[in-house]
Structure 1
Amino acid sequence: MELFVSKNTKNLAELNDALADVIKSVKKLDRNISLSIWDAIGRVVSEDVVCQKALPAFDNSAMDGYGVKVADSAKVVKIVGSVMAGDNPQNITLSSGEAVKIMTGAMVPSCVEAVVPFENASVNDDGTVVLPEYKNGANIRMKGEESNIGDILITKGTKLTPSHIGQMASQGKFVVTVCDKPRVAVLSSGNEIIEPWNRAEEYQIYNSNASTLIALCKEQNCSVEYIKIVNDGYEATLETIKLLKGYDLILTSGGISMGEADFVGKALLECGLAVVFKKVNIKPGKPTMFGYMGDTAVLALPGNPLSAIVNFYLFALPLIAKMQGATNHFPTYVNAKNKKSFKIKNARANVVLGTLLNGEFSVYKDYKYGSGMISPIASSNAFIVAGDGVEEIAEGESLKVVQLGSSLGSEFVDFVMQR
């Protein structure tokens, strides 16, 4: 791929600059596959889906009622037949003073000019029907009024929802071309972490990051491979990273801070990582590095669980979306009111976790939690980003709230609060 050159010349990138650099640098994968629509949910379509069969495909009744002529408005008519959904009514004819019963979704005979709902008419003892006043075309859904042949129903770059699946089925389209799944490698480092299927000693912690990152990637329709934990030694780290070939994205967690045993960042550079940024001016999650090894994007996340997961939502989610060719790949926010005031230690942009409910944002435990915790992210469904200079969020203050896992947008929006 063509080398991306960031305008950010400092090792420490501001959040918006870092996000912009990630999105600008990512290219769509050039691999597409054909899937049945039953297997395409959540995938990004690589072609425009065009209307092949008009919707509706024919003039049909919007109600259960009587098919009538306009000339018989407010008159008495006799019933001469019926049309059910699925019937071919081509042989039905109506004369003045006649009507047919017609069911919802049934094809409207060419002689019918309006449909009067059963409940709007009254039936005499002799079976004749007293009609109300009505207009031409009443309660008839016209052929093609929703979509005509040649209309684009689903645009290239759309992430398919169940509604899109139904839309394609309505066209008799059972196979669709989508972007192939990004191939992602997830790597964890740290002598102190142990896999959840093993028994941890008192001085060890279970590796929650890998499982969470794998789940997040699979949720975004990635093909994920977990790479064994790298021991905190430079040579072992270097050899493991050298073997990471054939991936579209490498996600690492841990080993990029300033500790004596943090070798991941150094090993990535040794393996030829072209750095876009080394750190982000954000709390938590400052030690976050992004770049490319050849065509492979590399996002090195912090080892602290909360920091790693938050920065996945901030950077990896848009990255993966654009990699799949999704038109919508920018984080979005909703406006909400702050439920209870809380203070912020002003050092850099702060990610504040909480819950969004009924238009109100409730901060998690008064913003008294650490980046090594798991419960804050597990108990939250949203976050805000308070920029430099924001030291307190007042009760009732208007906020820009980013929902975890919410739909992405087609344009960049600044969700960082400023004073």
Structure 2
Amino acid sequence: MIQSSLELIFQNVNELKKSKKVSLNGAINQILARDIFAVKNLPSFDNSALDGYAFNYDFVNKPLKIVGTIFAGDKSVYELSQNCAYRIMTGAMMPKASDTVVEFEKAVVENDMLFVDKSIKKHNAYRYAGEEVKAGEMLLRKGEVLTPDKIMLLASQGIDEVKVFTKPKVAVFSSGDEIVEPWQKASQSEIYNANSSAIEAILKDAKFECEYKGIIKDSFTDTLNAISSASNYDVIITSGGASKGDADFMAEALKELGYKAVIDSINVRPGKPTKCYKLDEKLVFILPGNPMAAFLICFLVVLPTLKKISSQKELNFTKIMAKFSGNIKFKDGRSNLVLGIYKDGKFSTINNNKFGSGMITPLVKANSIYISKVGESGLSDNDDIEIIPLY
């Protein structure tokens, strides 16, 4: 049910398509707005992969006269004569007619003569122009996230500025008269607002910025005013006020403001009361008030949606094949989010999958999650399953 809910949300999402230019130094974790093609070969010329001697393999097992040294950065063009060799440094341009490099450690040199036997393979340590990337080839695709290795690749092409997609502006609320902020003093009848901190952390860990807007009190007017105050955001995320309780005014307020329901619930445990509303290009997610449910739905539903809005190429989570350890049963008619620990190829549940959606400690203990299919009766020991790493 998670996947079908995501598909429905995706059908109602328009990618922002807004872009900007950023310097390479500021491009980390940004999303490419256009395809990038190589402008030059990588390597751009034939060169040595290590410090050694360049020679022609046709003359292996023969004494070779060392006629000079080639340093990295030397732009002169050298050419080997028969029965000759050059000392060469890492990255230096290979002399013409050479095809192999023997490293210093394996070279035998006597009186400026090099002796190489056939233990050295032909083309050893010879880096050919364009063997990694050829000019004109696709380098990176639109929608890819710019990671440090990709930034290095761009720099190797002399690219110092890239066009990237603008990420959505995200506002985060909590709701409920019973919650207070972690920096305040909670009475015995009050609870601390843990949800917003978790939601912010999940989003920021995935390189999305968000702004915390505070706690919405349980009244229709306060709810209406809070949502209205965030009208300049692309996505609003709230937790609490998602169920059918008398004090849950979120859906009522959104309808008053013209929002239309995209999903009214998700047939999953925990997280069933989750809702998503849309007005023009804006989305509002109403997550459950229970911490575990809010955390998991934010991770599994909100996060992929933000990636979709941002035109990110990879939307799906990385999945790992594992062997299930243990035996558990599921209730019919719903999907189940199973928290567990993945280690040495095996996935085992936390407390045999017995937890309440208001708990937090199972999240702390778990490092991965299994999503059961609707109608799946349970898991048996040694079953093959696909799991999603949480971290």
Pairwise same-fold verdict (TM > 0.5): yes
Match for residue 58 of structure 1?
45
Residues 155-174 of structure 1 mapped to structure 2, 5 A cutoff: 155-174=141-160
**Distance in 1 separating the partners of 2:185 and 2:164:** 42
Is contact 1:121-1:132 (8 Å) kept?
Answer: no
Secondary structure of 2:210's counterpart equals strand
Match for residue 403 of structure 1?
389
Secondary structure of 1:279's counterpart equals coil
TM-score w.r.t. structure 2 length? 0.94
**Distance in 2 separating the partners of 1:381 and 1:264:** 32
**Distance in 2 separating the partners of 1:310 and 1:198:** 26
Secondary structure of 2:183's counterpart equals coil
Match for residue 69 of structure 1?
56
How far apart are 1:224 and its partner, in Å? 1.4
**Distance in 1 separating the partners of 2:103 and 2:4:** 60
Match for residue 106 of structure 1?
92
Larger CA deviation: 322-331 vs 129-138: 129-138
Match for residue 238 of structure 2?
252
1:368 aligns with 2:354: yes
How far apart are 1:25 and its partner, in Å? 2.2
1:112-171: per-residue Cα shift (whole Å, max 9, x none)? Answer: 3332333443223x3322122467644311111111111111111101111101111111
Match for residue 117 of structure 2?
132
**Distance in 2 separating the partners of 1:113 and 1:347:** 67
Identity of aligned residues (%): 37
**Distance in 2 separating the partners of 1:371 and 1:23:** 26
Secondary structure of 1:280's counterpart equals coil
1:234 aligns with 2:220: yes
Residues 179-258 of structure 1 mapped to structure 2, 5 A cutoff: 179-258=165-244
Match for residue 8 of structure 2?
21
Q: Cα RMSD (Å) of the superposition?
A: 1.8
How far apart are 1:226 and its partner, in Å? 1.5
1:332-369: per-residue Cα shift (whole Å, max 9, x none)? Answer: 42210112223334452111111222211121121121
**Distance in 2 separating the partners of 1:160 and 1:177:** 11
1:41 aligns with 2:34: no
Residues 256-405 of structure 1 mapped to structure 2, 5 A cutoff: 256-404=242-390
How far apart are 1:77 and its partner, in Å? 1.1
Larger CA deviation: 162-171 vs 222-231: 222-231
Amino acid in the other structure paired with 1:43: Q
Unaligned runs of 5+ in 1: 1-13, 406-419
Amino acid in the other structure paired with 2:30: R
Amino acid in the other structure paired with 1:62: A
**Distance in 2 separating the partners of 1:138 and 1:211:** 55
The 1:71–1:345 alpha-carbon spacing in structure 2 relative to 1, beyond 3 Å, is closer
Match for residue 410 of structure 1?
none
TM-score w.r.t. structure 1 length? 0.88
The 1:93–1:393 alpha-carbon spacing in structure 2 relative to 1, beyond 3 Å, is closer
Alignment equivalent of 1:149, drawn from 110, 117, 135: 135
Larger CA deviation: 112-121 vs 28-37: 112-121
1:86 aligns with 2:73: yes
How far apart are 1:24 and its partner, in Å? 2.6
Secondary structure of 2:139's counterpart equals strand
Amino acid in the other structure paired with 1:287: P
How far apart are 1:39 and its partner, in Å? 2.2
Secondary structure of 2:11's counterpart equals helix
Unaligned runs of 5+ in 2: none
Q: What is the number of equivalent residue pairs in this alignment? A: 390
**Distance in 2 separating the partners of 1:282 and 1:334:** 21
How far apart are 1:184 and its partner, in Å? 0.4
